[in-house]
Amino acid sequence: MKKYIRNIVFIVASILFYLGWMNGGEMAYGKFIATGIEKFTSSISSIESVEYKYYEKEEKTMLYFQYPDRKNNISLEYCLPIVLLFAWHLALFFDRRITAKFALKLFALNFAIVYFLQLLFPLLLFNISQSKVKSMGLFIGLQIFGFIVFFLIIKDSLIIKNKYLQKLRN
């Protein structure tokens, strides 16, 4: 039973983090993303400002980007895979093959990767109406964060397995 604890924690944490996302976590993370875009992405792009809005009727969070000539928006749903990333890294603290310090290092690296990509994602919105390539990139990008988190989980699993096998050999 001990070897299944991490998996059980991952499943339960995924459900709990998703419920947290639906009950205010999306708004908190939305403000975090909006602040990051305002500070970082707007300094390297033509985004002049970022506005965060929550619509109670639709229960939807939107980010609005002010460009010099127009305003574009995007739903914050593209950030939802962060829930799986948080659940995965919480579960890693229950993996006896690694230390908590190593689990924390994996979390810091993976979160930095996903957060950085989420900050850069709004750059696809610039001139979107005039570019079919960017419009296709936006559609793919809305789906890609789930795959990125999935591959980060696989990467972590392989690193942990390799580290554990090396420890057994020595």
The string of pLDDT tens digits covering residues 2-49 is 668 888 999 999 999 999 999 989 989 999 999 999 888 888 888 888
C-beta pairs of 136-140 under 8 Å, 24+ apart in sequence: 138/74
**Taking the CA atoms of the chain, what radius of gyration do you get in angstroms?**
18
The pLDDT of residue 3 is 67
Query: What sections of the chain are H helices per DSSP?
Result: 5-20, 26-36, 42-44, 82-92, 100-120, 132-169
Question: Which whole-number Å values give the CA distances from 141 to 45, 78, 146, 153, in the listed order?
Answer: 18, 8, 10, 19
| Spatial contact of 67 and 81, defined as CB atoms under 8 Å apart | no
Residues of the chain with pLDDT under 50: none
Sign of CA dihedral 52, 38, 85, 128: positive
